[in-house]
Structure 1
Amino acid sequence: MFVSHSSFCRLPLAFLLCFLLLCTGVCHAQVNSNQSQTDTTKQSLNTRIIENLKEISKRKTIMGKLLNALLDFDRVDEEVFGLDAELIQKEYEKHNYKIVRNIDILTLDAFGYSINDTSRAPKTFLEKAGNSLHVKTGRGLIRNKLLFEKDEPLEPLALVESERLLRQTRHLLDARILINEETTTDDSVDVFVVTKDIFSLGGSGSYSPSSGRGRVTLRELNFLGQGHLIEGSYKFNLDRPRPWEAAGYYTIENIGKTYISADAAYVDENYYKEKSLNLRRDFFSLNTKYAGAVGASWIEERILLPSSPQDTVPRYATANYTRQDLWLGRSLKFKTYNLGYEPKGRVILGARVINTNYTTVPTENFQDNTLMLGSVGYSIRKYYKDRFIFGFGRTEDIPVGTLFSVTGGYQEGSLTDRKYFSASFAFAKYKPHFGYLYSKAGYGSYIRDDRWEQGVLDVETMYITRLAEWGNWKLRHYLLGRATLGIDRNPEELLSIDNENGLRGFRSELVRGTRRATFNYEANLYTPLSLLGFRLATFMFADVAWLSTGNQSSPFKEAPYRSYGIGFRFRNEYLSFSTIQITLSYYPKLPANDNLRDFRIYESSATHYDLRDFRFTRPDVAAFY
């Protein structure tokens, strides 16, 4: 068995908890033997496990003391109000266009406070100590996120959209915006805003004793309470040409109240180096009229070349280039003569210019070029609220709607010129009793001398079932199917099935192709157990991936690669740490010329699934990776 990225002490804790859960059956038998024969009440699974663990924790044994120190049996989930965003919108419709008289903002520290019960305060030493190390978000930063202002009319959707924007802020756990109904008049309202921070200072790390490889990452999501992101990472003892790699990122979010953000990145890795600066403004809300970005980057990357069946090591070539990128977008909404009614549909126009200059080219298929793109799209988007989609109980925004776009362009190159065309369509629906369904299809290709080249057809469907509940135990199923088909691609343009591209935990530089199809299934069980303040979820999964190497061949003609496994996830919603995930995977089929193991235990913080927003983004070339 191969152990990789065993994240410090995480593996022992995970397997300890697994052992404790397995012991509950034995403990249950011991407890039942002492019960009266007349007690015929059937306990639920949740009650049996919790009561048995409590029984063990009360004993004065080593196991009892360990359980009492590690597990929290008294954690109570907060009741969450208003999970249906549509109902909230209808509730507040009566306040549209009233004058905002006062805006009261309350920001809460990370530990011991409740966003639904503002009278709650920290009680324990750990809660108070944690808050003392944290700089609370400034009220001015919260005010800059609001889409309404004092002494101005309250626009439709302003309350719901402002709450969503606050909740999606990296350093905030949750947010509520309420109308004070007691002071409301026919023409004015008072608004109360309450937010709760997460502990923004965090990091992660991993270390493999067998190889000596490791990684350390430190991040601050809310530097001095001003919303600045600072992150740095360092990898060491790598089995690559150079034994170390480093990266650093800095982001200033929402400068002033312009919703313009600034990003700077420095990446120094073996196969990829980047220095970049970027200013951007997204279509952050339904009513945003203008969006755009301007940026420059200096990049050096090693391009993986096609391999033959006899290759035992991957072959690379180097590309050095600079890139300048500029785009601008304009959103247009339909006129309405119904005061207070806000149409959800938007027509979006976008234009983009990308200038790329190479100093080193890996093959003859790379050239200096200027790519000009224009697009038109139609977007309908709205949001629902739910819990236990990917979080462990926090409020999550579920995007649904429709997005259609058509993009055309012209590439002026140093060797040859060509046109570009792409189109895409996506939709999603969500109902608490049905679940979440998302589908997308897109096609894009360059056109040179009436010949279509470097084309890609991309389709995706994801379904997340409704939440099944047994007491405090909650279960969801996730199904994801994707296909990416390259059409007349260049030989060095290759797809992988590594990790999020196909099989989780799989890594091989020799398994590459031009057409790929994948299917992923996962069952995620959220438990009521808490380990050192981290909520626990268990999951099992099955991944299948098909890959072919010819531009005309079907991926389904080849035998698929597969992975099966089980794992644990730990998450503390009050901390900035990523979800800790420990996984045991089995791979029945592996390439014969690669040094891989069929069993693997590894730690990861990346999620395999994500919700797609229906926000219109910059015009772009269809992705092929």
Structure 2
Amino acid sequence: MFSLHATYYRLLLILLFSMLLAGVCHAQEIPKQDTTKVVAPIDTTLDFNERVLKSLRQLSERKTILGKVVKSVVVFDRVDEEVKGLDAELIQREYERHNYKIVRSIEIRTLDAFGYSINDTSRVPRTFLERAGNTLHAKTKRSVIRNKLLFRTNRPLEPLALVESERLLRQTSYILDARIFVDERTTTEDSVDIFILTKDVFSLGGSGSYTPSSGSGRISLGELNFGGLGHQVRGSYRFGLNRPRSWETYGYYAIENISNSYISARANYFDQNFYKEKSFYLQRDFFATNTKYAGAAGLSQIQERILLPNQPNDTVLTYGNLRYTRQDAWLGRSLKFKSYNLGYEPRGRVILGLRFINTDYTVTPTDNFQNNLLMLGSVGYSVRRYYKDRYLFGFGRTEDVPAGTFVSFTGGYEKGDVVDRKYIGGEVSFARHTPTFGYLYNRVAYGSFLRDDVWEQGVLTVESLYFSKLFERGNWKLRHFLQGRGTFGINRNPEELLSINNELGLRGFRSDFARGTRRIVFNYEANLYTPLSLLGFRLATVLFADVAWLSTGNQSSPFKETPFRAYGIGFRFRNEYLYFSTIQILFSYYPKVPANGNINDFRFYESSRPYYDFPDFRFTRPGVAEFR
């Protein structure tokens, strides 16, 4: 099967030229030294990166076709992102002397996606492509930036308001980076002027694929910042399918932070072969550490075909139809501890939450589904702080790493048409980050329904994530990731089974025949970030190893089964300024595959999403422990 991806054409050319250039660089002869002259000793400590780039630069200066190609795709004069201050915790110490001063003025400057630098404001677009790209891009409106700020003119500046606002801007999908400065030249004992600088990403993007052998393909389009207003629009269309319908479509529209309320609206529309959804939600999260109120309300109509239990030797999957309507609403309140220090904002919060979920089933595949009203209440304690780091998911831009502690207890009652049940659950998680050690996150969660003194539909989840400190040699950087996860079902319904597909277990693995009720997964990944920039994409190499155990039954141990494994290597290309910022091309090998599945031992595939993610320590909403 051969897919024609427009974006991947360039990437394949990149790989071809990279290998060719590596061979040319390797073939460069070292000039013989004139022993009759006194010469300075050769600097054997010259960085490998410098030697490679020097060879590439010399090659690009030649009047040959290859030299012109190298000059057009390799950027030699790249200025790396800002490094100073990134090992410090993202706290208010740099601004705490300005706490409770009156904000006199707020000046906002937004930069287009191409040719500008947030660290060097004198830089401007130089090439035709940069200017053309900015012409197609709608720059973020200053009113959108202003709506995300936690401070206002003619009001006292609250503790944490500056650093929290900068973090919120930086975590916005259509903003690459943000800086907030206090103008020290005009600062007085009781008032301040504030300057804000942001840089956009190129928010318009899309992708497509086509397979000549089957006549199938996919077209996707998206806009993260429609009209510079922060509206998000995404859609996709697949055609040429052979089961059971030849096409599928998906649409999404979202408006964030309506009228400076931090309330967002989103609508989803799925029309796929095995899943259909129409939904609409209004929601407000605990977006900052000092947010007092959060909540959401929404309605969804869902149709899906779910996998039913199969026998070990089955070669055909069995599905059942499920159709239901759900109304969902919750409200949360954050309470902070008193502080008698006006310049200090305590980070600990006690959070109370209440949620109602009403589900009406119209079609069910088994008798294990009943119409019900689920009422949940939660109490939690959260401590959140953020650190600045680099080269995690980005290629040098500032990234905010969450750390802290979270403890919660959830209780509830399900009023059903057939039976009534109680629910009990709890969660404990914490994370620590230091520049010398790296980052370590651990979480334990449990939840189960109780009916007539019998625990059912329970799940125990244990997970841990570690990434090492950044090892640097010149402009070459290396970081290791290690993740472990365990999910144990307790008296689950027969149709509720775990998978090890893709992000749930082995990356690139796809088989619905490998399922169970208990799962243990370990993942390792090494990322080598190179200084090369090819066609605007930064390049990193990826080496990974995944292993997963599956078992069925409430008492069986997953370790009694032979594990599924995946080993692979590949490339990651990232352009911070584009909508599809990351593209991964990976080659993997699976020593064990299901005998009745359709997966090959070797697989060459692409992915645009990161395999790991940072859990935030914010209270989201009372809920039932997930079994997936």
TM-score range, shorter chain: over 0.9
Between the aligned partners of 1:22 and 1:376, the Cα distance in structure 2 is: 60
**What are the superposed Cα offsets for residues 281-311 of structure 1, whole Å, 9 maximum, x if unpaired?**
0000011000000000000011101111221
The residue correspondences of 1:213-362 to structure 2 (distance < 5 A) are: 213-362=216-365
Q: Which amino acid aligns with 1:611?
A: F
**1:442 to 1:82, Cα distance in 2 relative to 1, 3 A:** same
Aligned pairs for 1:86-101 within 5 A:
86=89, 89-101=92-104
Partner of 2:5: 7
1:55 counterpart residue number: 58
Q: Is the 8 A contact 2:90 2:387 kept in 1?
A: no
Distance in 1, Cα, partners of 2:29 & 2:142:
53
Structure 1 pair 391–79 and aligned structure 2 pair: CA distance change class (3 A) = same
Q: TM-score, normalised by structure 2?
A: 0.96
Deviation at 1:600, TM superposition (A): 0.9
Partner AA of 2:336 in structure 1: K
The equivalences for 1:102-117 within 5 A come to: 102-117=105-120
Cα offset for 1:30?
2.1
The residue number in structure 1 matching 2:415 is 412
Contact 1:420 1:445 in 2 (8 A): yes
Quick one: which of 536, 540, 544 aligns to 2:543? 540
User: Does 2:151 correspond to 1:153?
Assistant: no
Per the TM alignment, residue 86 of structure 1 is displaced from its structure 2 partner at its CA by 3.3
Q: Cα distance, 1:216 vs. partner?
A: 1.8
Cα distance in 2, alignment partners of residues 487 and 286 from structure 1 = 35
The CA deviation at 1:123 is: 1.8
**What SS is found at the alignment partner of 1:504?**
coil
The amino acid across from 1:8 in the alignment is A
For residues 117-161 of structure 1, give each alpha carbon's deviation from its aligned partner in whole angstroms, at most 9, with x where no partner exists. Answer: 222222221111111111111111111111000010000000000
Name the SS of the counterpart of 1:159 in structure 2: helix
Q: Counterparts of 1:361 and 1:88 in 2: how far apart (Å)?
A: 51
**Does the Cα contact within 8 Å between 1:108 and 1:197 map onto a contact in 2?**
yes
Q: Which runs of 5+ in 2 are unaligned?
A: none
The residue number in structure 2 matching 1:369 is 372
| 1:20 alignment partner, one of 18, 22, 26 | 18
- Tell me the distance in 1 between the aligned counterparts of 2:34 and 2:435: 42
CA shift at 1:561, angstroms? Answer: 0.5
CA deviation after TM superposition for structure 1 residue 319, in Å: 0.4
Q: CA deviation at 1:529?
A: 0.5
Aligned-pair CA distance for 1:85 = 5.5
CA distance in 1, matches of 2:207, 2:7: 12
Cα deviation for residue 87 of structure 1 reads 6.3
Partner of 2:505: 502
AA paired with 1:41? D
Q: Which amino acid aligns with 2:321?
A: T
In structure 2, what is the Cα distance between the partners aligned to 1:450 and 1:151? 60
Match of residue 123 from structure 2: 120
Q: Which amino acid aligns with 1:522?
A: E
Q: 1:74 aligns with which of 64, 73, 77?
A: 77
More off after superposition, 18-27 vs 188-197 = 18-27
Other structure's SS at 1:86 match: coil
SS of equivalent residue, structure 2 residue 22: helix
Letter in 2 for 1:234: Y
Contact 2:304–2:323 (CA under 8 A) maintained in structure 1 = yes
What secondary structure sits across from 2:235 in the alignment? strand
User: Which of 35, 39, 42 is matched with 1:40 structurally?
Assistant: 42
CA RMSD of aligned residues (A): 1.7
User: 2:28 is paired with a residue of what secondary structure?
Assistant: helix
What is the CA deviation profile of residues 545-575 of structure 1, one whole-angstrom value per residue up to 9, with x for unaligned ones?
1001222211111000011111111111111
Q: C-alpha offsets along residues 474-516 of structure 1, whole Å, 9 cap, x if unaligned?
A: 1100000000000110000010000000000000111111100
Tell me if the contact between 1:98 and 1:189 (Cα under 8 Å) persists in the aligned partners: yes
C-alpha distance in 2 between matches for 1:87 and 1:584 = 38
Native 8 Å contact 1:24 1:52 kept in 2:
no
Q: In 2, are the aligned partners of 1:11 and 1:582 still within 8 Å (CA)? A: no
Distance of 2:505 and 2:241 partners within structure 1: 24
- Structure-2 residue corresponding to 1:560: 563
How far apart are the structure 1 equivalents of 2:23 and 2:598?
Answer: 40
Specify the SS of the correspondent of 2:498.
coil
The one-letter code matched in structure 2 to 1:559 is T
Q: Which runs of 5+ in 1 are unaligned?
A: none
Report SS of the residue matched to 2:488: strand
Pair 1:393 & 2:417 matched:
no
Alignment-derived partner of residue 615 in structure 1: 618
Mean CA deviation greater in 52-61 or 295-304: 52-61
Q: Is the 8 A contact 2:91 2:160 kept in 1?
A: no
Structure 1 counterpart SS, 2:396: coil
**C-alpha distance in 2, partners of 1:602/1:449?**
49
Summarize the Cα distance change of 1:210–1:52 in structure 2 as closer, same or farther, 3 Å threshold. Answer: farther
1:39-65 superposed Cα distances (whole Å, 9 cap, x missing partner): 632232112221222233333343333
Alpha-carbon spacing, 1:14–1:474, altered in 2? closer, same or farther (3 Å): farther
User: What is residue 29 of structure 2 aligned with on the other side?
Assistant: 31
TM-score of the pair, normalised by structure 1 = 0.97
Instruction: Give yes or no for contact 1:14–1:582 (8 Å, CA) kept in 2.
Output: no
The residue number in structure 1 matching 2:144 is 141
Alignment of 1:440-479 (within 5 A): 440-479=443-482
Query: Do 1:175 and 1:193's aligned partners in 2 also have CA atoms closer than 8 Å?
Result: yes
Question: Which 4+ residue blocks in structure 1 deviate beyond 6 angstroms?
Answer: none
* Helix, strand or coil at the partner of 1:31: coil
Q: Percent identity?
A: 67
- In 1, the alpha carbon distance for the partners of 2:198 and 2:341 equals 33
SS in 1 for 2:25: helix
Q: Which amino acid aligns with 1:40?
A: I
Q: Separation in 2 of the partners of 1:554 and 1:95?
A: 57
For residues 85 and 234 of structure 1, do their structure 2 counterparts lie closer, same or farther at Cα, with a shift above 3 Å needed?
farther
Contact 2:382 2:406 in 1 (8 A): yes
Paired residue secondary structure (2:499): coil
* C-alpha distance 285-170 of structure 1, shift in aligned 2 (>3 A): same
Distance 1:181 1:516 in 2: 56
CA contact (8 A) 1:14 1:568 kept: no
What is the alpha-carbon distance in structure 2 between the residues aligned to residue 250 and residue 9 of structure 1? Answer: 24
CA contact (8 A) 1:438 1:462 kept: yes
SS for the counterpart of 2:237 is: strand
Equivalent residues, number:
623
1:167 aligns with 2:170: yes
Match of 1:30, as an amino acid? Answer: Q
Shift of 1:34: 5.8
Secondary structure of 1:114's match?
coil
